[in-house]
Structure 1
Amino acid sequence: MRDMLLVVDVQPSFTPPDWLVTGIRALAKRMPSVATVERHDESCTPFARQLGWHPAPDDESLVAADRVFIKYGYLPPREMIDYLIAQQPARVLVCGMQTETCVLGAGFMLFDAGLSPTLVTDLTVGSSLDRSGELGATLWRHHFRQLTAVAQLDSQS
């Protein structure tokens, strides 16, 4: 069994910092990876109506991944979860944008599917509520317990 990387919503609409994109790109080269891209379709998710904002309808991932899954809303699509289940990873390393919302939502779906979600704490950024990502990491630790950092992954190689 091996680790797989899930890159959550690292796309132009969310203006990820350069250090995040660079770090995730380097990690994605080391293992099988999947990415989500959140796109806007008001008929699927009422972002504009309820929040007055929405991601672009045609964003692309800023990280090259083995598979990219398009989503409309906070949660990853079921097809991505099914794909990960079929790969039988030892754990799914999760990184990306909006630690306390989209990243955490992915964690819940992974957990409920019987996978082992592990947050890569130094490759995640929170929403405008908490750009540090600490709130999301605290919630992740409470719900899933498994956190790591790039240095820990490097020492395991």
Structure 2
Amino acid sequence: MKQAVLVVDVQPSFDPPDWLVERSRLLATKFPSVATVERHNEDKVPFFRQIGWKPRSVDESLVQADHIVLKYGYSPPPEVIAQFQSWKVDRVLVCGIQADTCVLAAGFALFDAGLQPTIIADTVVGSSLDRSGKLGVDLWQHHFGQVIDRHSDIL
């Protein structure tokens, strides 16, 4: 099975814990990888108008990946899916920030594209609703069924 990694929004705006950055970096060095970076543009996604919050207008990934893709909003842009398809991967291992929102949105996009999205439970954190990430992992299990508990299990 050919695998790749998607690192979702591991960037300064979201104040990721050091262990998440390190585990994400390790995964990105072991597999072909794409990292997304959430940016703010109120004309594209009205975060501030709708929820009174916004990510930084300029922010960078804390994880070096083979491809860095800017995104505006929760879902990954089509170029993320196109990159995985060009690599002809079977399964995309997903790690990152906001397991119950942005990571979950990535899962739906990967699933809809016919890829096998697989979350790595010890490489995600959740939103402010559930910083542990458990809610996101539980939702992932319910919708996609593909959960790896520990990153060390695939390295």
Establish whether TM, by shorter chain, passes 0.5.
Answer: yes
Q: Distance in 2 between matches of 1:85 and 1:32?
A: 12
Q: Secondary structure at the match of 1:96?
A: strand
2-structure distance, mates of 1:108, 1:49: 25
| 3-state DSSP of counterpart to 1:24 | helix
Residues 25-36 of structure 1 aligned to structure 2 (within 5 Å): 25-36=25-36
Return the letter of the residue paired with 1:67.
Answer: H
Aligned pairs (5 A) from 1:74-93: 74-93=74-93
Secondary structure, counterpart of 1:100 in structure 2: coil
CA distance in 2, matches of 1:33, 1:14: 20
- AA in 1 matched with 2:100: E
Distance 1:28 1:69 in 2: 14
3-state SS of paired residue (1:4): strand
Aligned to 1:52: 52
Q: SS of 1:41's equivalent? A: coil
**Cα offset for 1:16?**
0.3
Within-5 A mapping of 1:59-138: 59-138=59-138
Structure 1 stretches of at least 4 aligned residues deviating more than 6 Å after TM superposition? none
Greater alpha carbon shift after TM alignment, 93-102 vs 20-29? 20-29
Q: Which runs of 5+ in 1 are unaligned?
A: none
How far did residue 39 of structure 1 move?
A: 0.1
Report how many residues are paired. 154
Residue 149 of structure 2 is aligned to residue 146 of structure 1: no
TM-score normalized by the length of structure 2: 0.97
Percent identity between matched residues is: 59
Aligned-pair Cα RMSD in Å: 0.8
> Aligned to 1:123, what secondary structure does the other structure show?
strand
Most deviating of 62-71 and 142-151: 142-151
CA deviation digits over 1:6-61, x for unaligned, max 9? 00000010000011001111121111100100000000000111111101111110
For structure 2, the 5+ residue unaligned runs are none
Q: Which residue identity does 1:136 align to in structure 2? A: G
SS where residue 35 of structure 1 aligns?
A: strand
Q: CA deviation at 1:125?
A: 0.2
